[in-house]
Structure 1
Amino acid sequence: MKLRDKVVVVTGGSRGLGKAMVEAFAAEGADVVIASRKLDSCERLATEIREKYGTRALSVACNVSDWAQCDALIEAVYAEFGRVDVLVNNAGLSPLYLSLDQVGEALFDKVIGVNLKGPFRLTSVIGTRMASGPGGSIINISSIGAIRADGQALPYAAAKAGLNTLTEGFAQAFGPTVRTNAIQCGPFATDIAAGWPDGLRERLEAGLALGRVGDPGDIVGAALYFATDASSFCTGAILRLDGGMR
């Protein structure tokens, strides 16, 4: 029960990697806040968490690309729990596009908003409150695309590169009591993988030293490391969790 009586906020927390982390944090005794755009999905998971682990679970609808919705999430969490001990900026999206010249302004702004703007707002406000109190931990979920960009998801890669920069910058801004780190993920077989084109999984796995894409549960160890005192001397770090991508 390494997180007993701690309050953990996870954006994009109702499915995929976010859901795996929410369940792991609750299993370690944490009260959890599950935030995503679809409230019904958050509420279903919150009910499961309460019944299975006996911890408190708050569900909040939030599109993190919207500054006002980020602020509303923050106020809802502090009204319910009075503090945040761990913030996980996990919400992300990378829409497909036919070619780079077909990337419109709305799509570009949406990708930057969810993957970079939202984490900046949540971290800047929650991190400031953490630093003025007992401290805490902030975990950004980044992507190998930040350092291995290609033309298939370029706005997303640029946003995640920016998130890596925020990770190091916030580590300096909010130290010594707040630690800010990032998990730089490779390909994971979440529900989104159901939409992968034929043969993509095999091509990805051929380029991984471990020979397989990740399962959602593979993120749990890294997330718990950064969320707990196990990483007490670690901040500003970007951990590759990509199966050894070449």
Structure 2
Amino acid sequence: MADRFAGQTAIITGASRGIGLAIAERLVAEGAKVVITGRKPDALAEAVAALGGAGHALGVAGHTADTDHQDEVVTRAIDTFGSADLLVNNTAINPVYGPLLALDPEVARNIVEVNCLSALSWVGKAHRAWMGAHGGAVVNVASVGGIRPAPGIAMYGASKAMLIHLTEELAVELGPGIRVNAVAPAVVKTRFASALYEGRENEVAAAYPLKRLGVPGDVAGVVAFLLSHDASWTTGRTLVVDGGFTLGGAA
């Protein structure tokens, strides 16, 4: 599969580390050029170097919900690598923990803005600049919190439920030229999710039939499949990547 994405360019948001960077690594290994985003230029520069340098990757710093930033990223992807065939909406925030009724409404609005509305905007930018005329594939990174209650991070889960529904709606609207799918991971060992398992990893993993937490590569492989021609008859679907967690069958 070394050339599965040869000649294609992928835009991956929030890819200076964690799941986003693992997705970028997988796509580069399979022949793609990647444009990665994040808020910190230094972290992006390190990620680009890890991906093989300027011949394989471009980093563009900015805020994911900033429409000017989105325009710049899409434009630079096309100018630098010649296309914008693939899009992975990976950026997400979860700045609070606690009950829904204690949540500041402004914080709730910001979660929806970053986790949902910005993803929709990214799809629109890619569609207008490239995919509408040439086709493409989109994967939105959701969460198991979007398919079952997520106490303590309920607004994050609600935003991911919205993202899953947006995935289905976009698949209907943009087919047949553009496929839109999602992945819904459970707890993956990243800095973003560290508060959910640090200091009690074995206890948390005991609830998973596979008895371990995820690692970024577990999600990256599924995302690569959904972006590839191997999934050419798959759209509007959310693949759960959870070590069996949502089966609810752990002893």
CA shift in 2, pair 1:175/1:55, >3 Å: same
CA displacement 1:219-241 (0-9 Å, x = unmatched)? 12211111210001000111000
- Structure 1's unaligned 5+ residue stretches are none
Aligned positions, number: 244
Q: Which residue of 2 aligns with 1:21?
A: 23
Q: Which residue of 1 aligns with 2:220?
A: 220
Q: Which residue of 2 aligns with 1:97?
A: 97
Q: Which residue of 1 aligns with 2:62?
A: 62
Return the offset for 1:80. Answer: 2.5
CA displacement 1:168-216 (0-9 Å, x = unmatched)? 1111111101110001111101123444466553343122111111011
Return the offset for 1:71. Answer: 2.6
Aligned partners of 1:11 and 1:89 also within 8 Å? yes
CA displacement 1:68-116 (0-9 Å, x = unmatched)? 3223322332332342111000011212334434322332222112111
Distance in 1 between the 2:78 and 2:39 partners?
19
- Structure 2's unaligned 5+ residue stretches are none
Residue 192 of structure 2 aligns to a residue whose secondary structure is: helix
Aligned partners of 1:140 and 1:167 also within 8 Å? yes
Aligned partners of 1:26 and 1:55 also within 8 Å? no
Distance in 1 between the 2:230 and 2:198 partners?
40
What is the root-mean-square deviation of aligned Cα atoms in Å? 1.9
Aligned partners of 2:64 and 2:114 also within 8 Å? yes
Q: Greater shift after overlay, 187-196 or 168-177?
A: 187-196
Equivalent residues in 2 for 1:54-133, closer than 5 Å: 55-133=55-133
Distance in 1 between the 2:103 and 2:65 partners?
18
Aligned partners of 1:66 and 1:113 also within 8 Å? no
CA displacement 1:20-48 (0-9 Å, x = unmatched)? 11111111111110101112111111122
When normalised by structure 2's length, the TM-score is 0.90
Paired-residue identity, %: 31
Return the offset for 1:150. Answer: 2.8
Aligned partners of 1:131 and 1:174 also within 8 Å? no
Distance in 1 between the 2:219 and 2:234 partners?
18
Aligned partners of 1:74 and 1:126 also within 8 Å? yes
- Choose the corresponding residue for 1:46, options 42, 45, 48: 48
The alignment status of 1:201 with 2:164, answered yes or no, reads no
Q: Which residue of 1 aligns with 2:33?
A: 31
Q: Greater shift after overlay, 54-63 or 221-230?
A: 54-63
Q: Which residue of 1 aligns with 2:11?
A: 9
CA shift in 2, pair 1:103/1:58, >3 Å: same
Distance in 1 between the 2:64 and 2:95 partners?
16
Aligned partners of 2:23 and 2:221 also within 8 Å? no
